[in-house]
Amino acid sequence: MAVHKVTFLPLGRTVEVDDEKYPLADHGKPGSLLDIALANDIELEHNCGGSCACTTCHVIVKEGAENLSEMAGDEEDRLDMAEGLTIHSRLGCQAVVRGDVVVEIPKT
């Protein structure tokens, strides 16, 4: 059993998740930031339902990037269209949590 802390900014909400209980909310990849957010009543837009077909679940990783799954080519291609893209951007539906992480949900 591995329990991780995920903090969502600017909300300042930290949730603990047990990676043995993935998926949590059935949106995005099991254990993704989107899956965790929705299971904990944290609003993270996801117009495509978490299938890596849009950029509405775009987040900026502030800490713990090494604790997220590696970025696949389809996520990288899709991110090119995200508003407010940074070198620390990820799609919440694709970034699977494997350790403590802090992410910012950008204002739209």
Residue range 64-93, pLDDT digits in tens: 999 999 999 999 999 999 999 999 999 999
Tell me the average pLDDT across 13-39. 88
| pLDDT at residue 56 in the model | 95
CB 77 within 8 A of CB 31: no
- Centroid of chain to Cα 85: 15
- Three-class SS of residue 61? strand
pTM for the model: 0.93
- Give the pLDDT band (50/70/90) at residue 108: low
Q: Which amino acid is at 104?
A: E
CATH of domain 3-104: 3.10.20.30
68, 92 in Cβ contact below 8 A?
A: no
In sequence order, the β-bridge partners of residue 15 are: 6
pLDDT of residue 79: 94
